[in-house]
Amino acid sequence: MNRPHEVWVTGMGLVTPLGLGVSAFADGLAGQRSGLRRLDGEEWAATGADVAGVAPDIPATDVLPRTEARSVDRFVLMALAAADEALRHSRLTIGRDVAAERTAVVVSTGAGGLGTYEEQAVGRAARGRVAVSPYLLPGMLPNMAAARIAIRHGVRGVSSSIATACASGAMSVAEGLRLIREGVADVVLCGGTDTALAPSVATSFGNARALGRAGEGDPAAASRPFDRDRGGFVLAEGAGILVLERAGHARARNATPHGQVLGWGATTDAHHPTAPLPDGSGAAAAMRLALADAGLSAGDVGYVNAHGTGTRTGDVAEARAIRAVFGDDGPPVSSVKGAIGHLLGAAGAVEAAATVLALRDGSLPATANLDHPDPECALDHIRGAPRAAAPETAVSNSFAFGGHNVSLVFGRPRGTA
């Protein structure tokens, strides 16, 4: 018998630096391929960023009517493409397989349409009023990914966007879980989308000395989570959308579960605008809350998908948090940011999908470029190659500027139609 709060992942859609679609992402991680590339051109030369995770182009007319495709920011286009794939993957059509009023969309972004805004601001400075599109705001506002998905697919339930910086994607998945548990929706399209590949954004992070750089070396080696020689995160872009579904509803339509969302936890460090608590206590509290929400103990967890950005302080704080929760002999840990960079507001959703895939397929992804683990980040790191394993449950972490900590607990798929 289904518990009222049992929630399945019945579909996933991804746009990442490893390619378009879930298969490209999964195959890229399995094959230890990098999605990072060198940034060329004068506009990047002075930013402090010389490498990024660049996602495939999404032609606007692939996801929008030609008459509406003007001045829509890239973060919206990627979200629409990911949502289309997620719904195909779930074999679900809104209005046919689920009532439009019982369907919700929670899709967030950390930066919104900053690239579009910067482009038009530069144009206005050079040419005045005529350079600014009347479609600027509906093309770049942070809620527009969720709104456009709702319009495209006829969603009539809750539609929202959560702003918690780099924890936004994970918080959206948590909100999707809550909406189903509370009986507000039977299906929720949730996740995140972001591109911060705008020169002003890159320059700001570069001036803060937060970015990993390729220098004269291989761009693929620039992102180095938990490594002794890490130098910061690598900016990246992409989108991840999960279809969450009440298990009873999914069974009634013979849907296939790819995983379960078992619990969530969130805390705030209340410490510093950009730096985490050095002891990781806020992150540890989020993980403990997520495990309690799932009705699990630390010993039940067989894998941790780390936030692991490659910053000096962030990686140490997270490693301390993981040891505080799971002990010195805790579960295996990895971060996919070594392969794809940091997708900011989309990171938590893409990494949630990575966690679901790891549990479903019995293959835990390795942390790329983890050649010399930092002793301060001592954990059971997965490195060198994916690890064959079939844990029942896993934790996925997302942390953010402002002290936001979000942890999600996922389980292997249970039950079929």
Q: Where are the domains of the chain?
A: 7-252, 263-411
Question: What mean pLDDT is predicted for residues 215-243?
Answer: 96
- Active site annotation includes 307: yes
Q: What is the pLDDT of residue 131?
A: 85
Question: What mean pLDDT is predicted for residues 299-306?
Answer: 98
Question: Which H/E stretch holds residue 305?
Answer: strand 304-305
Mean pLDDT of the chain: 94
Q: What is the pLDDT of residue 318?
A: 98
Question: 7-252: what CATH class?
Answer: alpha beta
* Least confident span in 121-125, 153-157, 254-258, 289-293: 121-125
Separation between Cα atoms, residue 116 and residue 131, nearest integer Å? 12
- How far out from the chain centre does Cα 106 lie? 13
Reported as a single tens digit per residue, the pLDDT across 106-150 is 999 998 888 888 888 888 999 999 888 888 888 889 999 999 999
Question: What mean pLDDT is predicted for residues 323-336?
Answer: 98
Domains 7-252 and 263-411 share a fold: yes
Question: What mean pLDDT is predicted for residues 4-21?
Answer: 93
2 — pLDDT class (breaks 50, 70, 90): very low
Percentage of the chain beyond pLDDT 90 is 84
Reported as a single tens digit per residue, the pLDDT across 63-94 is 999 888 877 899 999 999 999 999 999 999 99
199-207 and 114-127 helices cross at what angle (nearest 10)?
110
Kindly name the residue from 89, 166, 249, 404 that is annotated as catalytic.
Answer: 166
Burial of 127 (0-12, 13-18, 19+ CB in 10 A): exposed
- Active site annotation includes 258: no
Look up the CATH number of domain 263-411: 3.40.47.10
Q: What is the pLDDT of residue 139?
A: 86
Kindly name the residue from 89, 258, 307, 404 that is annotated as catalytic.
Answer: 307
Nearest to 378 by CA among 291, 320, 339: 320
Nearest to 78 by CA among 30, 144, 133: 144
Kindly name the residue from 342, 377, 381, 404 that is annotated as catalytic.
Answer: 342
Q: What is the pLDDT of residue 417?
A: 41
- Active site annotation includes 381: no
Nearest to 338 by CA among 293, 296, 386: 386
